[in-house]
Structure 1
Amino acid sequence: MKCVFNRTCGIVLTAMLALAGCFSESTQAEAVNQTQTTKPSNPAPAPAPVQAQAPAMDFREGVHYTTIVPAIPTQVPQGKVEVVEMFWYGCPHCYSLEPTIQRYLQTKPENVVFQQVPATLSPRWAYHAKLFYVGKMLDPTGDKHVHTKIFEALQKQRRQINSDDAMIRFFGEQGFAPEQVTKALQSMEMQAMLARSDEVGKGSKADSVPVIIVNGKYMTSPSKVGSEETLLQVINYLTKR
């Protein structure tokens, strides 16, 4: 089951959107309207069986990935390939994907530059983007595992970090002073990072997370390919392209 934009992850709507990830509010509203206005005369057909994992050379556009037109500008040196994960801290599917992402980072090709970009599909998601970027500025090397701790705070502890005061309290628990958090929030670097999030979100036209974008040209996701293991194969396939 997937989580939709609001807090009621587990409502009947999720069964209709299963496996796809966490959706934006507009996508959820559209699905709700369809269920309220459409009254099928016949029972819905049984879902098709899940297809077996595709061979590495049998990945097809429109099935396992889509092409982004126009391509999103990348932020990597010439000769490098940018792989972006677009995510949201409130999405349980993004959280469950973390071990797979860490495994990918240990085996990715040397020419790949991996980046995580928080989605900004709503004001709440946009605030969590600030949360991610403050953590990135305060813990640039990742030694304090702030990114993981934020995920755990929201997903395991069910904390609400949706205001500056709540953010300051959280980072205070990680050993950072309020002034450090405020400075990061008000920095030009923050504005540039948020602009990048908007650029990736609008350019990809993604309405759910998690998704993976390869070199600004191709987009795939665990739901599209059927499994996290296949996802890694598709990423490597697209990287070689």
Structure 2
Amino acid sequence: MNRREFSVSTAAALGGAGSLLAASAQAQGQPVEGTNYVRLAQPAPVSAPAGKVEVVEFFWYGCPHCFHFEPFLESWAAKLPAEVAFRRIPVAFRERPFGIHQQLYFTIEAMGLMASLHPRVFKALHEERQRLDTPEAIGEFVARHGVDRARFMDVFSSFAIQTKCRQARSLTDAYRIDGVPAIGVAGRFYTSISLNGTPARTLATTDHLIQLSRRPA
């Protein structure tokens, strides 16, 4: 997968005093703006209720980096405080196979099958080397796992799922996502494994951004 490449000259942009602050943050092990995360020039829309901090993971089922990140993300998300609203957004950089995987995720979510099917999709693609890139293949896949194929495919092709896909693409554009896995926070910040090096550091940076988001913009 292509990942976002940033050309950030932090020292020049910040000036002398800002450079000292960045150096101090690095020395203390704190995430550094322009190195570990990016502040969006134009805020992205959020859907979380007032008083909650929205955190969005952008992913693609076919991405090996997303597959390896998933267990770390699951463990982290299970411990989030009530004031953090976490959700996933499947990206669609092009129609095939991204678009069909986007529909697959939103159908799984809409039918309340996250616990049973979401991890199985990752496993099917990355461990079992199945191809889930057509409606027929997806129908066979869900049927093998005890899901009513006809009902699933009705939801899969529904207007509601198509609407969710359009909204997901709009949010992906708003965050300027061009690589996954990536995490958006409060419509104001962006971070990723490519900016942090490891899942643990990425999630630590996300925690830092959640705290920043509680302050006035």
Tell me which interval the TM-score lies in, with the shorter structure as reference length.
0.7 to 0.9
AA in 2 matched with 1:117: I
Q: 1:206 aligns with which of 171, 177, 184?
A: 177
Partner of 1:171 in structure 2? 142
Q: CA deviation at 1:56?
A: 6.6
- The residue aligned with 2:2 is 23
Equivalent position of 1:155 in the other structure:
126
Query: Map of 1:2-41 to 2, 5 A cutoff?
Result: 22-23=1-2
Q: How many angstroms apart in 1 are the aligned matches of 2:110 and 2:156?
A: 10
Q: 1:131 is matched with which residue?
A: 104
**Does 2:167 correspond to 1:196?**
yes
Structure 1, unmatched stretches of 5+, are 1-21, 28-52
Q: Which moved more, 1:153-162 or 1:102-111?
A: 102-111
DSSP 3-state at the match of 1:219: strand
Once the two structures are TM-superposed, the CA of residue 150 in structure 1 deviates from its matched residue by 0.4
| C-alpha distance in structure 1 between counterparts of 2:125 and 2:27, whole Å | 37
Which structure 2 segments of 5+ residues have no match? Answer: 5-24, 213-217
Cα distance in 1 between the residues matched to 2:135 and 2:51 = 40
- 2:92/2:98 contact within 8 Å kept: yes
Task: Give the whole-Å Cα distance in 1 for the aligned partners of 2:139 and 2:28.
Answer: 46
The equivalent residue for 2:205 is 234
**Structure 1 segment 76-91 matched on structure 2, within 5 A:** 76-91=48-63
1:168 deviates by 0.6
State the alpha-carbon separation in 2 of the partners of residues 73 and 56 from structure 1: 32
Q: Distance in 1 between matches of 2:200 and 2:128?
A: 28
Whole-Å separation in 2 of the counterparts to 1:205 and 1:105: 23
- Which secondary structure state, in structure 2, belongs to the residue aligned with residue 72 of structure 1? coil
1:159–1:56 Cα change, 3 Å: farther
Decide whether the 8 Å contact of 2:26 with 2:32 is kept in 1: no
Distance in 2, Cα, partners of 1:54 & 1:168: 49
Q: What letter matches 2:54 in structure 1?
A: E
Residue of structure 1 in register with 2:91 after alignment: 119
Question: Matched residues, percent identical?
Answer: 26
Alpha-carbon offset, residue 183 of structure 1: 1.5
1 CA distance for matches of 2:30 and 2:203? 14
Partner of 2:31: 59
Find the residue that maps to 1:113 and give its secondary structure. Answer: strand
How far off is 1:189 after superposition?
Answer: 1.9
Number of residues paired by the alignment?
191
2:41 to 69, 80, 85: 69
TM-score by length of 1: 0.74
Aligned to 1:107, the other structure's residue is in SS state coil
Q: Which amino acid aligns with 2:34?
A: G
Deviation above 4 Å: which 4+ runs of structure 1? 53-57
Q: Deviations over 1:144-188 (max 9, x none)?
A: x21000000011111111111111101111212222122112323
Question: How far apart are residue 141 of structure 1 and its match?
Answer: 5.8
Equivalent AA in structure 2 for residue 135 of structure 1: I
Q: Which has the higher helix share?
A: 2
Kindly indicate whether the alpha-carbon contact (under 8 Å) linking 2:69 and 2:199 is maintained by their aligned counterparts in 1.
Answer: yes
Q: CA deviation at 1:220?
A: 0.3
